[in-house]
């Protein structure tokens, strides 16, 4: 399980909703566009871009590493859970 801490509850909710599996078992997030400090801008399937603010740069980098690991290893997200401003990802193979 990978636990990433966001800036607040709203950002954690936004993060988990972006990573909820779609009906075809794919993710709505395509990739990372840019990282600026503790903020990561992601590209979504519909072509839009959204930012996610994390508690600090360490959590932003942890998120980047997780997303790159998912892409490289073809691992899958089994479930996503929120507790306050923290989002936990249960993966089918531990990346971090």
Note the pLDDT tens digit of each residue in 11-46.
Answer: 999 999 888 777 776 778 888 999 999 999 999 888
**29 within a domain of the structure (yes/no):** yes
Please report the pLDDT score of residue 27 as a whole number: 74
Please report the pLDDT score of residue 31 as a whole number: 86
Please report the pLDDT score of residue 29 as a whole number: 85
- Find the domain containing 19 and state its range: 2-91
60-65 — which CB contacts under 8 Å span 24+ positions? 60/35, 61/35, 62/2, 62/4, 62/96, 63/4, 63/15, 64/32, 64/35, 64/40, 65/95, 65/96
Mean pLDDT of 47-75: 91
**32 within a domain of the structure (yes/no):** yes
**23 within a domain of the structure (yes/no):** yes
Please report the pLDDT score of residue 24 as a whole number: 74
Please report the pLDDT score of residue 94 as a whole number: 54
């Amino acid at each position: 399980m990978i636990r990433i801490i966001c800036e607040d509850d709203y950002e954690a909710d936004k993060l988990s909703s972006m990573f909820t599996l779609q009906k075809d078992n794919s993710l709505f997030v395509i990739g990372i566009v840019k990282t600026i400090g503790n903020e990561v801008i992601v590209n979504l399937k519909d072509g839009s871009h959204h930012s996610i603010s994390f508690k600090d740069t360490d959590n932003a980098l942890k998120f980047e590493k997780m997303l790159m690991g998912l892409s490289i290893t073809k691992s899958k997200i089994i479930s996503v859970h929120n507790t306050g401003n923290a989002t936990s990802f249960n993966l089918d193979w531990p990346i971090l």
